[in-house]
Chains A and B, each alone.
Chain A
């Protein structure tokens, strides 16, 4: 899995799960935030949106400080996996697990950065739904979940779809946070943006033309797709 296509495949293997993860958290959160008022709401919202304006390197730094093997969350995770491995399978690759240098780490980093782009259009779409529609569904006996799945989400689907397109584009193009968390392992492909930087750093910028054209082409397609999505 090397070369330009291997790199593209690997990039998709990071960006698609990252978009899915961001959607899994972002869409219900957007619905919740569009419907509920509570103290500290603006703080929660700010935390979700902040990766949009923070340099990705700061996101990467925060993730490393949280999930590194010697860090706040990373150390208990490493210890737990080590203990579990001693008990069940001493040969396990997950003994002393750390998020750094793993593709999962890249997925998490890309998801955090992509989340605001997914969250904002989704929230706007949920907020614009007339409350009567949901009230009618509830009057007809629909549960909260049923109302969400069968009424709110279908009505807001365009907003959610544009969020998915934007979030995926961002996840695919993410560089700073993913490169910090995933590092560079020669035994594994890089993502396309990292490949561009790596060619530049090695003093062979002309070799980067392939990934540059490919990324630009994909971005163009996604931009067209975004514009073609019917407006709600």
Chain B
């Protein structure tokens, strides 16, 4: 019968009698070794999205902490943090943004960690015929539009423009460039055939599966090493929990998920030389 909830509802209105209940809950939570249940706000480079979403549920089960992700271009996320966004942990797709936070006194140099590494890939729409067959060919008429990330805010775009410059292609592609506001938009432009080629991370290309074709993995010597850096913010409301998540990312379990999604391990020695053309994964 419905009498029990009804009584409870009346009971709730008797504050004196039930005052001790919240205190009991607090004590239970504080001493429960399995569930600290801290909410961690993570601003993270959007290229890590598939990997982190895969970890989300498992990490929550294992640690009790809940992860709230804010995905975007690293430069855009940096701007938000500088403007005072309440973020605990920042994971950037380049060293640049993390260094800037440290320079601005918003994070400690001591706490930063490399959690993964990546490669840049030249991709074309899978359906398109008569596409480029090498990076050099983006300068030819085969490419009318080339999408890269906005270099100022999107690390993938920064790496891409470094590679174009170093391969002496910048002047030839200047008129063809289309900027994406983050690397996933660049990928989407290629997937939908709106551009003839695009420079994204190899992991993005892998995520897109059959819809795009990897033409070439870009020689890493053409750009700064692609590293994903995590750093806990000085103003973090959940500092310890954020540090625990970094530890998890560096653990075997965390690195396994990252590796499944195509990222290179955090511990790998920085690549200095590599063949210009590597078969697509």
Contacts and interface: CB of A to CB of B under 8 A. Distances in A.
Contacts of A200: 79
A44 to B, nearest CB: 30
B71 interface: no
Nearest to A65: B192
A70 B178 contact: no
A232 interface: no
Contact of A69 (B76, B176, B193): B193
Interface stretch (B7-15, B54-62, B145-153): B145-153
B82 interface: yes
Interface in A99-143: 100-101
B250 interface: no
B179 A185 contact: yes
B175 A187 contact: yes
A62 interface: no
A157 to B, nearest CB: 42
Chain A interface size, as a band, is 10 to 19
Contacts of A202: 75, 79, 150, 152-153
Interface in A179-218: 183-187, 200-203
A185 B144 CA distance: 13
B175 A201 contact: no
A159 interface: no
B42 to A, nearest CB: 20
A98 interface: yes
Nearest to A100: B194
Given A69-B194, A70-B193, A186 B79 contact: no
Contacts of A69: 192-194
A172 B66 CA distance: 44
Nearest to A99: B194
Chain B, interface SS category: mixed
Contact of B181 (A98, A187, A201): A201
A68 interface: yes
Contacts of B181: 184, 201
A100 B193 CA distance: 11
B192 A186 contact: no
Contacts of B192: 68-70
B105 to A, nearest CB: 16
A70 B177 CA distance: 20
Contact of B145 (A70, A101, A184): A101
B163 to A, nearest CB: 16
A184 B179 CA distance: 5
A100 B144 CA distance: 13
Contacts of A203: 75, 78-79, 82, 153
Interface string B67-106: 0000000011011001000000000000000000000000
Contact of B76 (A68, A100, A201): A201
Interface string A59-73: 000000000111000
B167 interface: no
B174 interface: yes
Contacts of A98: 194
Nearest to B174: A187
A68 B194 CA distance: 7
Interface in B160-199: 174-181, 189, 192-194
24 contacts: A68-B192, A69-B193, A69-B194, A93-B144, A96-B144, A101-B178, A183-B178, A184-B179, A185-B177, A185-B178, A186-B179, A187-B177, A200-B79, A201-B75, A201-B76, A201-B150, A201-B153, A202-B75, A202-B79, A202-B150, A202-B152, A203-B75, A203-B78, A203-B153
Given A187-B176, A187-B177, A202-B75, 18 more contacts: A69-B194, A70-B192, A93-B144, A100-B194, A101-B194, A183-B178, A184-B178, A184-B181, A185-B177, A185-B179, A186-B174, A187-B174, A201-B75, A201-B76, A201-B150, A202-B79, A202-B150, A203-B78
Interface of A: 68-70, 91, 93, 96, 98, 100-101, 183-187, 200-203
- 8 pairs of A and B residues whose beta carbons are closest in the complex: A203-B79, A184-B179, A187-B175, A202-B152, A69-B193, A70-B193, A100-B194, A186-B177
